[in-house]
Amino acid sequence: MRRIASVLMALGVAIGVVDGGAILFHIGLAGVPWLVNVALAKLGFIAALGLLGGGAVAGRLSCRREGGRLGSGDAP
């Protein structure tokens, strides 16, 4: 489960970096209006955030399965 979490988070970072680079260097689909390119960029960022969140949840679940404590408190 930890490997799945790592893969999801790495994929989310990769999509976010590629999407950010495309916006930074004004790379878009040729022949479509600029509004469609902006919408695709937003969808890319939403997908990246979803993958990062899914990886974080999977990582927490794997930690819970291994018997680790999730909180930093000293409560039993």
Q: What pLDDT shows up at residue 73?
A: 55
Tally the residues of the chain. Answer: 76
- How do the domains of the chain map onto residue ranges? 1-33+56-66
pLDDT for residue 64: 80
Higher-confidence residue of 31 and 73: namely 31
Is residue 19 within 8 Å of 41, Cβ to Cβ? yes
State residue 67's pLDDT score: 72
Burial class, 51, CB count within 10 angstroms (exposed 0-12 / middle 13-18 / buried 19+): buried
pLDDT exceeding 90 applies to what percent of the chain? Answer: 75
pTM (predicted TM-score): 0.79
Q: How far apart are CA 42 and CA 37, in angstroms?
A: 9
Taking the alpha carbons of 31, 35, 41, 44 in that order, is the dihedral positive or negative?
negative
